[in-house]
């Protein structure tokens, strides 16, 4: 029963906040892959899709270095560290724009943490998706993490 804990808007640099966001997305998705459960312990991911295919995709191919989720998230963190402030501004990833995005993410995460279920899962995945798209565009990253997130979401039980 994983409880999402996105970074709060604060005085940290945008890069620190964005990396903290990415770290939390990695933990959240990793827990979904490992357990298939929402914040209340309810099965939310279809088990036959989660095991073993999803878990193998998360772990990556042993014969292909750099294909695990951990490797891809690390590549993303490195790219974020190299981004300039103008690029962050252009993509709405600093200042009041980033504060607003983190505020909304945390509000919805609190609802998901309290209630779980498809409704809040769907909302939180949509918000993660929106920020990942901006972040990957700004960092010039491929869509591998985003696509993996989409397939995890697509493997969820449809009770909504």
Stated pTM of the model: 0.92
Which residue did the predictor score with more confidence, 34 or 148? Answer: 34
Q: What is the pLDDT of residue 5?
A: 96
CA distances to 40, 76, 109, 117 from 123, in Å: 16, 23, 9, 10
The answer to whether the beta carbons of residues 118 and 44 sit under 8 Å apart is yes
Q: Which of 108, 80, 107, 112 is nearest to 93 (CA)?
A: 80
Domain range list for the chain: 14-154
Residue 150 has pLDDT above 90, yes or no: no
pLDDT band at 20 (very low <50, low <70, confident <90, very high): very high
């Amino acid at each position: 029963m994983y409880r999402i804990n996105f970074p709060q808007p604060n005085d940290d640099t945008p890069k620190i906040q964005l990396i903290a966001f990415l770290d939390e997305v990695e933990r959240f998705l990793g827990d979904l892959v490992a357990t298939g459960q929402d914040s209340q312990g309810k099965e939310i991911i279809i088990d036959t899709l989660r095991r073993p295919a999803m878990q193998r995709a998360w772990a990556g191919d042993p014969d292909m270095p750099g294909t695990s989720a951990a490797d891809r998230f690390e590549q993303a963190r490195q790219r974020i560290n190299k981004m300039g402030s103008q690029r962050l501004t252009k993509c709405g990833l600093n200042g009041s724009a980033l504060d607003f995005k983190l505020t909304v993410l945390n509000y919805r995460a609190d609802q998901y943490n309290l209630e779980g279920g498809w409704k809040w899962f769907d909302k939180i995945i949509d918000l993660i998706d929106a920020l990942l798209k901006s972040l990957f565009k700004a960092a010039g990253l491929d869509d591998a993490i985003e696509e993996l997130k989409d397939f995890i979401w697509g493997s969820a039980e449809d009770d909504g």
